[in-house]
Structure 1
């Protein structure tokens, strides 16, 4: 059967460097760091005392107080970002077939703060199980797409993908395939996460995953730098409206880009560490290129997973050199996590938005905070260091990898008739 073309018609973002798509993009191009000391709780006794929290986000601008209390922050973020994306897409909810519009969302953890608070309250009580009746509905990871569909009356496919930090990219690939195969006309996809909590920070600290650069939080996320010492935890959401091309064309929608392919693979190596030779990453990028029908030399830019961990950054760049050969030196490679921190299950969507906008604006955002060259990294690779670079981007790739060895890769192409 002939596969349908899939295009991007709406974007929504809620990030540590901007509370909507425009602010997010401006922050990326300016090389703005979203990292600062934690304000959500007293972090004095924690090894890491900073994170990439949202700034100036007032939930009561979007929900009334009663509604907000029923939603964990990760679900609030999902709704806010998806509302922006749907509005941006110009979809008229009164004229579309809502049975052919779905929501496929990514979340690596879900309602961690809700779980933490409810269990803590119980443990500190007298043993009587006085749990909030919204405890379970607030906590479960699938509640984000559930609430988005309820809010807009969308009755197509509706579920959450959970593959740690690859969750949102997994969701987008599922959405791509639903539309390609003709099962849906529109899918709202993306991911959200809100793990800047005592449990989140403490848990990641315990496994030595986070940077402890407490003396200079704004420079702590430093992908590819020789002195990197772990990732910086971030939070937020990214939402993308994916639509079958003929459907978008018929309603006169603006089109940001064409979603041309996705790839998946597993490292099958270790619970948290990447394969040192990047074998799973090589496989996922090859799978993605094949799925998209794109040659390696057609790719202009890659938004890497690039978390700022000692092992992961080197393994990913090794894999890029293997897959792209000499052409790797012609690609603008960057890591926007240097600015946003690592948004875990939301990372794939937030970074895909950056990749899409790099095509629209002809600018590749920088990898900030780079000061010291890592001898294990090929010096001929263009890592877009410290300053945005202007470039005509026609095909862009975005990588996301998760604990458990989950690898996901997506490809977007500048839209043409």
Structure 2
């Protein structure tokens, strides 16, 4: 529990809160809607939680400049609705989009299925206003997609999980909504053949707008638990193309050719929009459906090079056998960003111990495969102690030095992201 919770409505109040906490050396933890899975918004050191639920305004929507200016508490879904009225969208689309905030998206560099073509949050933010740990308001970036004016603090702050300061305003890059979409479902006899197809898909000129992966266990659970109409398979890819209705058939044909190959046992079209939405609904419902298998799950969003996906899945299967736990893999194959879900009962002490050991095993495997600890969830508390292995000592020292510059008193979300010295 924190010592207190503040709900500011304006930037000046945020500055006053941070200044007061600076003088009192009290920890400050930002909170959006709390959907993160790594403990980054938990006030583990007590102090003040600053909730941005009342700073939720869409300050400006400028279709002519393809941008929106928002407060951090604005829901991703509300921004999407407002932008859609003008024929635009903001590309980061995590599963939690209807109820996560833009501030939380910025804190973790959130992505989602569309990131394979349109990029994650870091690729779709033009500028930020930030209250640093000394109470000063810092502005970085601006209103243009091109800029070469000093250090790029905007991209640096994104993904910093509130350890440098509190984002109080963001200028976001909007993209035109595609006029048409079409989805394919490709089934394979093994993870290896599906991963080879991913490599082929990403090597040809037509970039899919989404490319999602599910291993065989995940396919089975989606069918048996989620009620999805999916035949048995060793692995599944969901592929989508978007664009102009006149050229879309050519793009889909190119993706189909790339998806076809050794190990492919079926490639089906979603013939209309209803079928496409049903296909993606099954994917988005998968993570919540896992709760019906076990009361607890550890969801780690690790990333490996696309060619290493089979090795990662095999390592996860070995961990599943070793620890006697169900572990399923699915996620954003085009980026090599897989969600490994370790299912267990938190009320069972032995299962909890084995689940934590399995999580550490996943991290070990990822790092040995030249991967990284997180693609879109962040580091928080859950992965903090692995940072020393994921990042070399000189780089980690530079990160600490930068934090000290932004946050000289060390009050901004202490104990998160960077391991203790």
Report the TM range for the smaller structure's normalisation. Answer: under 0.3
More strand as a share of residues: 2
Structure with bigger gyration radius? 2
Provide the TM-score with structure 2 as the length reference. Answer: 0.26
